[in-house]
A and B are shown apart, each in its own frame.
Chain A
Amino acid sequence: MTRGAADILVSLLATALAAGLVWSAVHLPAAPGLAGLVERNLEASGVESAVTAVLLNFRAYDTLLEIGVLLLAVIGALSLHPGEELSPAATEALSSGPEPSPMLMWFVPYMVPVAFVIAGYLWWAGSTIPGGAFQGGTVLGAALVLLLLSGRKFSIRPEAVATRLWLSGGLLFFLAAGAVPMVTGDAVLQWSEEWSGITIVLIEAGLTLSIGGCLAALVVGVPAHPPERALRGRRP
């Protein structure tokens, strides 16, 4: 098939799909949905935010596996780190790329502590209002990236056991907490009603830290050289 024919075919298929989706969206009959069911069980979930209740109680198993995907991406990205034999563009630290701008350098000392506070707040607030482990984790990750970008004395050393424990700790704790209910003959992830609130807050704490670490590790990659060396003499 020539390129022109392939272009036309793919464009037609994409258009047909979009049209089909629009048609479906317009013609969908109203279905009941699960909002009512979630609301009725919210009290038993141990948290007040419906989204958090779905993520960490009703469908906590989805979240557990999703953290597995995040960890997988980290492991996959680390596995691409070349040995000594190749130039390390695949994974070298972001901070060894273009020079950080003075604006950024001025900004970071103010920004990072604020971001840490926001991350902590989001984690804590997640049980009652919008917010939670993902939002907290992503803000934490963004703060760590900023910190790395600015070339402060901070780097992620993926070969260290401590770093790896940090990155996978959220998943491991979630797995362990999820297995505890089996002791009393309950299903995995079946939080007992009186403990569910505190269990969820603790799991979210672990997830916030690990998600932040994993996202930062994914963004900055593996430093090919210690960042200090890459950055020395760059600071204005």
Chain B
Amino acid sequence: MTENLGLAFDATLAMLLVWASAQATSRDLFRAVVMFIVLGLLASLAWLRLGAPDLAMTEAAVGAGLTGVLLLDTLGRLRWKRQKRGGPQ
């Protein structure tokens, strides 16, 4: 029973990972960045399931956290400057 539950969880998580990957590489930039952060959190869960707590910690802090902040900041700056360039001087 627990075995089956685990299998179902793993299969769902795997599907979510693939889905989030597809979303993270779509053309809508904001959604892509947000979904990349979600992907980091999902991957962190996957590492736990794979018996790798070291990787889970690092993935959550780096993959979702720092990379996410970096991507959001870059996106914000690109948009902010575009508005400034496009707008009246």
Contacts and interface: CB of A to CB of B under 8 A. Distances in A.
Interface of A: 51, 89, 94, 97-98, 122, 130-132, 134-135, 138-139, 141-142, 145, 215, 218-219
26 contacts: A51-B54, A89-B77, A94-B69, A98-B80, A122-B57, A130-B53, A131-B57, A132-B54, A134-B54, A134-B58, A135-B57, A135-B58, A138-B58, A138-B61, A138-B62, A138-B65, A141-B61, A141-B66, A142-B61, A142-B66, A145-B66, A145-B69, A218-B66, A218-B70, A219-B69, A219-B70
Interface string B50-89: 0001100110011001100110010011001100000000
Contacts of B53: 130
Interface of B: 53-54, 57-58, 61-62, 65-66, 69-70, 73, 76-77, 80-81
Contacts of A131: 54, 57
Contacts, number: 46
A141 B65 CA distance: 10
Contacts of B57: 122, 130-131, 135, 138
Contacts of B73: 94, 97, 219
Contacts of B65: 138, 142
Contacts of A97: 73, 76-77, 80
A134 B54 CA distance: 9
Nearest to A135: B57
Contacts of A219: 66, 69-70, 73
A130 B66 contact: no
A122 B53 CA distance: 12
A8 B81 CA distance: 35
Contacts of A141: 61, 66
B81 to A, nearest CB: 6
